[in-house]
Chain A
Amino acid sequence: DIQMTQSPSTLSASVGDRVTITCRASQSISSWLAWYQQKPGKAPKLLIYTASTLESGVPSRFSGSGSGTEFTLTISSLQPDDFATYYCQQYNTYPTFGQGTKVEIK
Protein backbone atom coordinates (compact mmCIF):
# COMPACT_ATOMS: atom_id res chain seq x y z
CA ASP A 1 0.00 0.00 0.00
CA ILE A 2 1.05 3.59 -0.60
CA GLN A 3 1.44 5.36 2.74
CA MET A 4 0.17 8.93 3.06
CA THR A 5 1.64 11.12 5.78
CA GLN A 6 0.11 14.45 6.72
CA SER A 7 1.68 17.25 8.72
CA PRO A 8 0.99 18.71 11.09
CA SER A 9 -1.42 16.43 12.95
CA THR A 10 -2.97 19.44 14.67
CA LEU A 11 -2.87 23.06 13.66
CA SER A 12 -4.03 25.98 15.79
CA ALA A 13 -5.07 29.04 13.83
CA SER A 14 -7.24 32.14 13.93
CA VAL A 15 -9.93 33.38 11.60
CA GLY A 16 -8.28 35.14 8.69
CA ASP A 17 -5.04 33.15 8.89
CA ARG A 18 -3.48 31.49 5.86
CA VAL A 19 -3.24 27.77 6.58
CA THR A 20 -1.15 25.14 4.81
CA ILE A 21 -1.36 21.37 5.28
CA THR A 22 1.20 19.03 3.74
CA CYS A 23 0.66 15.48 2.52
CA ARG A 24 3.51 13.20 1.47
CA ALA A 25 3.19 9.93 -0.40
CA SER A 26 5.56 6.99 0.12
CA GLN A 27 5.99 6.75 -3.66
CA SER A 28 5.04 8.86 -6.64
CA ILE A 29 1.30 9.18 -7.24
CA SER A 30 1.52 11.68 -10.12
CA SER A 31 -1.43 14.04 -9.44
CA TRP A 32 -3.86 11.39 -8.25
CA LEU A 33 -4.62 13.07 -4.95
CA ALA A 34 -7.81 14.32 -3.30
CA TRP A 35 -8.48 16.42 -0.21
CA TYR A 36 -11.49 16.10 2.09
CA GLN A 37 -12.93 18.08 4.98
CA GLN A 38 -14.65 16.25 7.82
CA LYS A 39 -16.63 17.69 10.70
CA PRO A 40 -17.56 15.69 13.83
CA GLY A 41 -20.29 13.16 13.20
CA LYS A 42 -20.32 13.82 9.46
CA ALA A 43 -18.99 12.10 6.39
CA PRO A 44 -15.91 13.51 4.68
CA LYS A 45 -16.65 16.10 2.01
CA LEU A 46 -14.62 16.29 -1.21
CA LEU A 47 -12.78 19.59 -1.61
CA ILE A 48 -10.14 19.00 -4.28
CA TYR A 49 -9.26 16.22 -6.72
CA THR A 50 -6.44 15.59 -9.15
CA ALA A 51 -4.28 17.56 -6.70
CA SER A 52 -5.55 21.01 -7.69
CA THR A 53 -9.07 20.83 -9.17
CA LEU A 54 -11.64 22.48 -6.95
CA GLU A 55 -14.83 20.49 -6.53
CA SER A 56 -17.96 22.36 -7.61
CA GLY A 57 -19.39 24.51 -4.84
CA VAL A 58 -16.20 24.58 -2.75
CA PRO A 59 -15.07 28.13 -1.84
CA SER A 60 -12.15 29.49 -3.79
CA ARG A 61 -10.16 30.12 -0.59
CA PHE A 62 -9.29 26.42 -0.78
CA SER A 63 -6.51 25.45 -3.16
CA GLY A 64 -4.30 22.45 -3.75
CA SER A 65 -0.93 21.97 -5.34
CA GLY A 66 1.82 19.44 -5.84
CA SER A 67 2.64 16.33 -7.80
CA GLY A 68 4.72 13.21 -7.38
CA THR A 69 5.12 12.71 -3.64
CA GLU A 70 4.50 16.12 -2.04
CA PHE A 71 1.22 17.98 -1.94
CA THR A 72 -0.29 20.92 -0.09
CA LEU A 73 -3.76 22.13 0.79
CA THR A 74 -3.98 25.86 1.43
CA ILE A 75 -6.80 27.85 2.94
CA SER A 76 -6.07 31.45 2.02
CA SER A 77 -8.15 33.09 4.77
CA LEU A 78 -9.51 30.76 7.42
CA GLN A 79 -13.23 31.13 8.08
CA PRO A 80 -15.22 29.92 11.12
CA ASP A 81 -16.75 27.11 9.05
CA ASP A 82 -13.29 25.78 8.18
CA PHE A 83 -12.43 24.45 11.63
CA ALA A 84 -12.49 20.72 10.91
CA THR A 85 -10.24 17.76 10.15
CA TYR A 86 -8.69 17.48 6.70
CA TYR A 87 -7.59 14.29 4.95
CA CYS A 88 -5.62 13.60 1.84
CA GLN A 89 -6.23 10.46 -0.23
CA GLN A 90 -4.25 8.97 -3.07
CA TYR A 91 -5.83 7.02 -5.91
CA ASN A 92 -2.81 6.12 -8.00
CA THR A 93 -3.35 2.59 -6.74
CA TYR A 94 -5.93 1.20 -4.34
CA PRO A 95 -7.06 4.18 -2.29
CA THR A 96 -5.33 5.11 0.94
CA PHE A 97 -5.81 8.10 3.22
CA GLY A 98 -3.61 10.28 5.37
CA GLN A 99 -4.12 10.22 9.12
CA GLY A 100 -5.75 13.65 9.16
CA THR A 101 -4.94 17.21 10.22
CA LYS A 102 -7.20 18.83 12.76
CA VAL A 103 -7.53 22.59 12.35
CA GLU A 104 -8.55 24.07 15.67
CA ILE A 105 -9.22 27.52 17.00
CA LYS A 106 -6.18 29.26 18.42
Chain B
Amino acid sequence: QVQLQESGPGLVRPSQTLSLTCTVSGGSITSGSFYWSWIRQSAGKGLEWIGRIYTSGTTTYKASLKSRVTISVDTSKNQFSLRLKSVTAADTAVYYCARVPSWSGFFGVWGKGTTVTVSA
Protein backbone atom coordinates (compact mmCIF):
# COMPACT_ATOMS: atom_id res chain seq x y z
CA GLN B 1 0.00 0.00 0.00
CA VAL B 2 1.65 3.20 -1.19
CA GLN B 3 1.78 6.01 1.36
CA LEU B 4 2.81 9.63 0.93
CA GLN B 5 4.21 11.93 3.61
CA GLU B 6 4.85 15.65 3.29
CA SER B 7 7.67 17.35 5.19
CA GLY B 8 9.10 20.83 5.44
CA PRO B 9 9.03 24.06 7.45
CA GLY B 10 5.72 25.07 8.96
CA LEU B 11 6.60 28.77 8.91
CA VAL B 12 7.95 30.76 5.99
CA ARG B 13 8.71 34.48 5.94
CA PRO B 14 7.03 36.67 3.31
CA SER B 15 9.03 36.98 0.06
CA GLN B 16 10.99 33.81 0.90
CA THR B 17 10.75 30.39 -0.76
CA LEU B 18 8.49 27.62 0.49
CA SER B 19 10.09 24.19 0.12
CA LEU B 20 8.31 20.90 0.77
CA THR B 21 9.18 17.28 0.11
CA CYS B 22 6.87 14.31 -0.37
CA THR B 23 8.32 10.91 0.50
CA VAL B 24 6.74 7.87 -1.12
CA SER B 25 6.77 4.62 0.86
CA GLY B 26 5.38 1.17 0.22
CA GLY B 27 6.39 1.23 -3.43
CA SER B 28 8.75 2.79 -5.92
CA ILE B 29 7.96 6.23 -7.28
CA THR B 30 8.90 4.85 -10.72
CA SER B 31 6.60 1.84 -10.46
CA GLY B 32 3.50 1.90 -12.60
CA SER B 33 2.38 4.91 -14.56
CA PHE B 34 1.60 7.83 -12.29
CA TYR B 35 1.86 11.56 -12.02
CA TRP B 36 2.87 13.02 -8.69
CA SER B 37 1.03 16.18 -7.70
CA TRP B 38 0.88 18.99 -5.19
CA ILE B 39 -2.42 20.45 -4.00
CA ARG B 40 -3.13 23.03 -1.35
CA GLN B 41 -6.16 23.93 0.69
CA SER B 42 -6.89 27.27 2.30
CA ALA B 43 -9.97 28.77 3.84
CA GLY B 44 -10.04 31.44 1.18
CA LYS B 45 -9.48 29.42 -1.99
CA GLY B 46 -10.56 25.92 -1.06
CA LEU B 47 -8.73 23.06 -2.78
CA GLU B 48 -6.28 24.24 -5.42
CA TRP B 49 -4.13 22.11 -7.68
CA ILE B 50 -0.57 23.45 -7.93
CA GLY B 51 1.12 21.16 -10.42
CA ARG B 52 2.41 17.69 -11.20
CA ILE B 53 5.49 15.82 -12.32
CA TYR B 54 6.06 12.55 -14.11
CA THR B 55 9.09 10.49 -13.14
CA SER B 56 10.66 11.41 -16.47
CA GLY B 57 10.80 14.95 -15.09
CA THR B 58 8.00 16.34 -17.25
CA THR B 59 6.08 18.99 -15.31
CA THR B 60 2.79 20.84 -15.64
CA TYR B 61 1.82 23.79 -13.46
CA LYS B 62 -1.30 25.79 -12.74
CA ALA B 63 -1.07 28.83 -15.01
CA SER B 64 -1.52 31.42 -12.28
CA LEU B 65 1.32 29.91 -10.20
CA LYS B 66 3.66 28.92 -13.01
CA SER B 67 6.06 31.83 -12.58
CA ARG B 68 6.70 30.93 -8.92
CA VAL B 69 6.52 27.11 -8.82
CA THR B 70 9.05 24.37 -9.38
CA ILE B 71 8.30 20.67 -8.86
CA SER B 72 11.17 18.20 -9.04
CA VAL B 73 11.66 14.48 -8.48
CA ASP B 74 14.47 12.46 -6.92
CA THR B 75 13.87 8.84 -7.86
CA SER B 76 16.89 7.65 -5.86
CA LYS B 77 15.24 8.92 -2.69
CA ASN B 78 11.67 8.05 -3.75
CA GLN B 79 10.72 11.69 -3.27
CA PHE B 80 9.34 14.64 -5.14
CA SER B 81 9.47 18.26 -4.06
CA LEU B 82 7.73 21.61 -4.30
CA ARG B 83 9.35 25.02 -4.32
CA LEU B 84 7.19 28.12 -4.30
CA LYS B 85 9.08 31.40 -4.37
CA SER B 86 8.16 34.92 -3.33
CA VAL B 87 5.45 33.76 -0.95
CA THR B 88 2.83 36.00 0.62
CA ALA B 89 0.15 35.46 3.25
CA ALA B 90 -2.10 34.19 0.45
CA ASP B 91 0.13 31.11 0.20
CA THR B 92 -0.74 30.08 3.75
CA ALA B 93 -2.45 26.71 3.41
CA VAL B 94 -2.38 23.01 4.10
CA TYR B 95 -0.21 21.47 1.39
CA TYR B 96 -0.88 17.94 0.18
CA CYS B 97 1.03 15.64 -2.13
CA ALA B 98 -0.94 13.09 -4.10
CA ARG B 99 -0.64 10.36 -6.73
CA VAL B 100 -2.53 10.46 -10.02
CA PRO B 101 -2.92 7.58 -12.49
CA SER B 102 -1.39 8.86 -15.73
CA TRP B 103 -4.46 7.83 -17.77
CA SER B 104 -6.67 10.10 -15.66
CA GLY B 105 -6.55 13.12 -13.41
CA PHE B 106 -8.10 12.10 -10.14
CA PHE B 107 -6.11 11.95 -6.92
CA GLY B 108 -6.17 8.37 -5.73
CA VAL B 109 -3.63 8.50 -2.89
CA TRP B 110 -3.00 11.54 -0.68
CA GLY B 111 -0.49 12.46 1.95
CA LYS B 112 -1.78 13.60 5.32
CA GLY B 113 -0.94 17.21 4.57
CA THR B 114 1.31 19.77 6.18
CA THR B 115 0.35 23.26 7.32
CA VAL B 116 2.47 26.11 6.04
CA THR B 117 2.00 29.59 7.45
CA VAL B 118 3.50 32.63 5.76
CA SER B 119 4.18 35.26 8.37
CA ALA B 120 6.91 37.60 9.53
Binding site for B on A (CB under 8 A): 1, 32, 34, 36, 42-46, 49-50, 55, 87, 89, 91-92, 94-100
Contact = CB atoms under 8 A, between A and B. Distances in A.
A32 B9 CA distance: 35
Interface residues of B, number: 17
Contact of B46 (A1, A43, A50, A99): A99
Interface of B: 46-49, 60, 62-63, 96, 104-108, 110-113
Contacts of B46: 87, 97-100
Contact of B49 (A55, A87, A95): A95
A26 to B, nearest CB: 15
Given A87-B47, A97-B46, A55 B105 contact: no
